[in-house]
Amino acid sequence: MRKMDTGLVQLSLPLSSLPTAGLPAGSLRRQEAVHEAFRAVLATSGLTPEYVASELSRLTGNSISVHHINNWTAESKIGERHIPLDYLPALTAILRDSRLIQAVMPTGWTALTPEDAAVFELGKVVVEERRRGRKKRELWERINGSGA
């Protein structure tokens, strides 16, 4: 009697069925957008690069120097120095600005500040209340219409 192989098999999906299939090559390159956003956010924050480096070091537990900050914002350093992704939450908290995270997001996606998230949640509640109101009206119409 021959023993059958019961190992798992990975099936290949055609590329056309993947959610990113319609995106052009390079369309999610975010390097320049992140670089520009960091420069803009730092400039409007009123904070010094020294303060940002010190606070980033404290919050992440890594040694971040003012030279790191300068490299991440220098026009000549685009393509050479990347802000590590795991620093984005700390930078967003320090700078109190979501533009840096927003710059990382693909087009059509968004990041919300805690205040904006509350407004968004309220909007969801209002939409649900309106749906329920429509449903209640439909049911009352069915009840009142069928009883006549």
Under the banding of pLDDT at 50, 70 and 90, the label for residue 14 is low
pLDDT tens string 56-100 = 999 999 999 999 999 898 887 665 578 898 999 999 999 999 899
The length of the chain is 148
**What pLDDT is recorded for position 2?**
64
pLDDT tens string 22-41 = 878 888 888 888 899 999 99
CATH class of 29-109: mainly alpha
Where are the chain's structural domains? 29-109, 112-148
Distance CA 19, CA 106 (A): 13
Dihedral angle sign, alpha carbons of residues 25, 30, 35, 39: positive
Distance CA 100, CA 36 (A): 9
16-24 own/partner pairs: CB under 8 Å, 24+ apart: none
**CB neighbour class for 91 (10 Å; exposed up to 12, middle 13-18, buried from 19):** buried
